[in-house]
Structure 1
Amino acid sequence: MDTARTPKEELGRRIEALGPWFHNLRIGGVETAPDHFLGDYPAFKWQGFRHVLPEDLTGKTVLDVGCNAGFYALEMKRRGAARVVGVDSDPRYLAQARFAAEQSGLEIEFRQMSVYEVPKLQERFDLVIFMGVLYHLRHPLLALDLLWEHAVGDMMLFQCLQRGDERIPELSENYDFAEWSVFDQPDYPKLFFVEERYASDPTNWFIPNTAAMEAMLRSSGFEIAAHPEREVYLLKRGARHYAVENAPCGFGG
């Protein structure tokens, strides 16, 4: 009996050996995660906001932070980006991404590092992609600060899991120390802390409501240029509006 595998069978074997996959990619007609609990992810999500990015990225540089198996990095290279760098802290995801890029014939650089290490790149990129990462971080504001200071040259495509009230409240710039009631408003900016697990994932640490997410982005120096769908923002690198120098002492011990 002939036990030789067809090229598609061999490709399927290699894809399975690299699994499990979180990105459902189509490589040589084989899907990497056809039974994904979210469906055809992230392709179906991409359809909702792909229009906010330029169709032609010729000459542009792109950094994909938390690239996973490289879905967005691949899409940016297909749009003609001159240079695409994908970084992730998980070596398994990077192995998947390298395989996917190789099979697609696309030249993309992948490096193992966390968002906290982006200063090592010593480069600002025309577009930074930071999708589905922030709520997995112990230090979310530090990550946004580092991206603003060291990586984002112009735009950032951003997404973060959100829960709680979705309204944007009208708030005063300052409140007296004796003010308590404002914090009881359901729409006040809140960052929910997950001590153990959310969705069975021990790396889900902080989940903001909408007001908190947008306030954190503004505080870190980003301007919201587009909000194509819930949780997804196209950001422009702007100016930070807070000042820390000569600030009065707080009430800490």
Structure 2
Amino acid sequence: MTAEAPAGDQLADRVAGINWYHSIELAPGVLTPGWFDTRAIAPRLPMPADLSGRRCLDVGTFDGFWAFEMERRGAAEVVALDIPDPDLWDWPANTDPDAREEISSRRPGEGFALAHAALGSAVNRLERSVYDLDAGKLGTFDYVYLGSLLLHLRDPVRALERVHDVCRGELLLVETIDLPLTLMMPGRPAATLDLRGRPWWWTANTAGVVRMLEAARFAPLGRPRRIYMPAGRGQEVPPLSIRRLLHPQGPKLALLALKGDPHVAVRARPLA
């Protein structure tokens, strides 16, 4: 059942009190200040313009942008999955307690609930880990969207195997990539390992993302598409300067400021 939606100044005030990851237009003139401007890349993704009649799944929904987008494109049913309890996230054992508390403050759920009400959505949100996907409990889906999640998982291939169990049609995987590794080793699967006291694990190059899909018994469809996720109003991008460009993170900051965070979009179908 959809809660009564706030309107006008009340809606704007509610939006201002939430830490947003997605940029979602909730009403004319009311845009959530997301960490990324998800609206900007929606037209660039190889997602069907018409999802009429399809049962769809959004894995790692957070504020729900992609779940609501699939609903907007006519999906017959959309299920959105996420874990609101930070204690259930894949934390490295060396995570500093203060860092864990700060990161945990960005937990999903509150933004989704407000957006769901404001949009009058019928999306069904479930609190469940990707590792717990089970066709016997959830059934199967014609279309699955999995976005920017593998980076945060201890076992990304296992997660893809669980997605395989519930996907009867097509998967669209959108995942952050290591751009230098992609450019230097375009045909060789490779990844960097973070584990700097935060739930960031493997960042693969494009070939690595494709290989993980293949290991989970998915067959890629067409060529992977590189996209750049632009920063939203909730992410402060410092102005470029010589000093910042000379910093070890300078090239990454410049890329974020000029184009966005590098991702790859891969369409795939499950193999029997």
Any idea what the Cα deviations from partners look like across 1:189-227, whole Å, max 9, x if unmatched?
Answer: 223211215xxxx11111112222111111211111133
Per-residue CA shift, 1:155-174, capped at 9, x if unaligned? 011011111422697xxxxx
Match of 2:44 among 31, 43, 48: 48
Q: Name 1:174's counterpart in structure 2.
A: none
For structure 2, the residue ranges without an aligned partner over 5 or more in a row are: 1-5, 86-106, 228-263
Contact kept in structure 2, 1:168 and 1:210, CA below 8 Å: no
Scaled by the length of structure 1, the TM-score of the pair is: 0.74
| Correspondence for 1:10 | 10
* 2:218 counterpart of 1:222: yes
- State the Cα RMSD in Å: 2.2
TM-score normalised per structure 2: 0.70
Q: Deviations over 1:73-101 (max 9, x none)?
A: 11111111111000111265223213212
**Pairs within 5 Å for 1:90-239:** 90=84, 92-119=107-134, 121-148=137-164, 150-163=165-178, 164-166=180-182, 188-196=188-196, 202-226=198-222, 227-230=224-227, 231-239=264-272
Does the Cα contact within 8 Å between 1:167 and 1:210 map onto a contact in 2? no
Q: Which amino acid aligns with 2:58?
A: D
SS in 1 for 2:212: helix
Provide the secondary structure at the position in 1 that maps to 2:195.
Answer: coil
Looking at structure 2, the residues matched to 234 and 187 of structure 1 have their Cα atoms a distance apart, in angstroms, of: 18
Moved over 6 A (4+): none
Distance change >3 Å, CA 27–CA 194, structure 1 → 2: same
Are 1:94 and 1:110, in contact at CA under 8 Å, matched by a contact in 2? no
CA distance in 1, matches of 2:51, 2:270: 18
Structure with higher Rg: it is 1
State the structure with bigger RCO (CA 8 A, min sep 6), 1 or 2: 2
> Equivalents in 1 of 2:21, 2:160: separation in Å?
24
**CA contact under 8 A between 2:54 and 2:142: conserved in structure 1?**
yes
- What is the aligned residue count? 206
Gaps of 5+ in 1: 1-5, 170-185, 240-253
Q: What is the CA–CA distance in structure 2 between the aligned matches of 1:79 and 1:7, rounded to whole Å?
A: 24
